[in-house]
Structure 1
């Protein structure tokens, strides 16, 4: 089988996009294909594999598979990349795109300058703080709770996230601490883990351990959204002004209105063909 693929990144969080509009790639093949293609030494390399598929309720459907073969409900950086790809190649320069995900239909606004996509704004929906919606064991919200010697906060912004505020994010052993929290029994489906440092009013530095990738990534869109809404909830940030997050791979903005809005880049890298000989 010969597959055409497209490589994109959103603030360094990189993805392989495959157009599966006629559903030639069957359901039982997707997980294994993600493991093969996302491998950085034996495949193309990526933090996730995205299938662009037909949708009966939106302009297009996004299916996201992690390098370990698991499927993610939603991916913030990934949806920006798919929106750019769809606007350029599939939907005739459409600037407002509705994308179906396992976390619901998301509206994505494309802004172009001189004919090129300059940034993408995603309506991410409302955050879910109740433990049953994260999901996490227990009842009520999971705010300022002690775990692994840290004060954690949890929220679902499409996928489960833990947010930990620290004095110096560069001194954090993200992969060791992130892995401990990610696999803690408190989270029956696991969780992503964000370590956040406040730099000044509404400006933060962030590092994220991603579930499914099972290591630190250069950026995580849903994690940035989670960190923004938790910062506002704790009174660490002003919710009536945009929040700026510096990830290792680039900058992403969050706006907290009737729902969460994420604004950030999406960059095309290259395309190619994959065949298993």
Structure 2
């Protein structure tokens, strides 16, 4: 195929959850095709001779700086071309990107799952994540009652929506589970009409949890998943594994996140959001 034009992009990551960021003012005629091509872990973009090829998604961001605090409209297109309603690490990256342009330490992020407030302190970004929802209609799940410690395709899970649906399984050691083998059956289980992210968690012995997540739309494990981290703590509270409103450390492979799930009000997700570099990406392709 021959390239017709290009668009500038930046690369950010939040605890290893990496994204290409494109200003929505720059035209990309086919966003799903753009994401599928450039996020591919085998043939996608390689930035600054990094060992990591591709990314976990493309954030198309529209800055509206006439508001106080500034607003950014976030659209996350995943590697399979689908649009995710919410992404915790993506929202933190969006806030960092907007803060760079406005100098504001508070950013409002408009997502398909609702508007979220973010606080930016240097490289650390904390974002509101909404109230976790367990009701079957909210997950969604084809069930007459909440799925709490329910066996689904051989895995005992608790289902919760933290912006997107998660099936959370608490295990003795997340590293002892072959996630790529067990997750797809749960992710595609008929009880989840829109599919589900599959998140494993195990207590770290210090009041926090280790985490691994197989992400819907990525169709594989990611180095970090913010909605998954919030789902871990929300499910842990539901099961009585944690109590109170104090922050809980959740550790996916990419680094530590801070999660607060209060008894009332919005959950909070905090952690680093780091700019890795910038480049130009092909936007339109034509078959030869």
Q: TM-score, normalised by structure 1?
A: 0.92
Answering whether residue 186 of structure 2 is matched by residue 184 of structure 1, we say: no
Gaps of 5+ in 1: 112-116
**1:132 touches 1:139 (CA, 8 Å); kept in 2?**
no
**1:23 touches 1:53 (CA, 8 Å); kept in 2?**
no
Answering whether residue 79 of structure 2 is matched by residue 75 of structure 1, we say: no
Q: CA deviation at 1:54?
A: 5.0
**2:10 touches 2:22 (CA, 8 Å); kept in 1?**
yes
Greater RCO between the two (CA within 8 Å, min separation 6)?
2
Q: Deviations over 1:104-139 (max 9, x none)?
A: 00100111xxxxx23100011101111111111012
Q: CA deviation at 1:48?
A: 0.5
* RMSD across aligned positions (CA): 1.6
Q: CA deviation at 1:238?
A: 2.1
Q: Deviations over 1:9-37 (max 9, x none)?
A: 101010000001x36334xx111111011
**Following the alignment from structure 1 to structure 2, what is the Cα–Cα distance between the partners of residues 174 and 23?**
38
**Moved >4 Å (runs of 4+):** 54-58
1:101-250 matches, within 5 Å, as 101-111=111-121, 117-250=122-255
Give the alignment partner of residue 57 of structure 2, picking from 48, 51, 58: 48
**Following the alignment from structure 1 to structure 2, what is the Cα–Cα distance between the partners of residues 259 and 54?**
24
SS in structure 1 at match of 2:229: helix
Per the alignment, do residues 3 and 23 of structure 1 end up closer, same or farther by CA in structure 2, a change over 3 Å counting? closer
Gaps of 5+ in 2: 46-53
**Following the alignment from structure 1 to structure 2, what is the Cα–Cα distance between the partners of residues 42 and 229?**
37
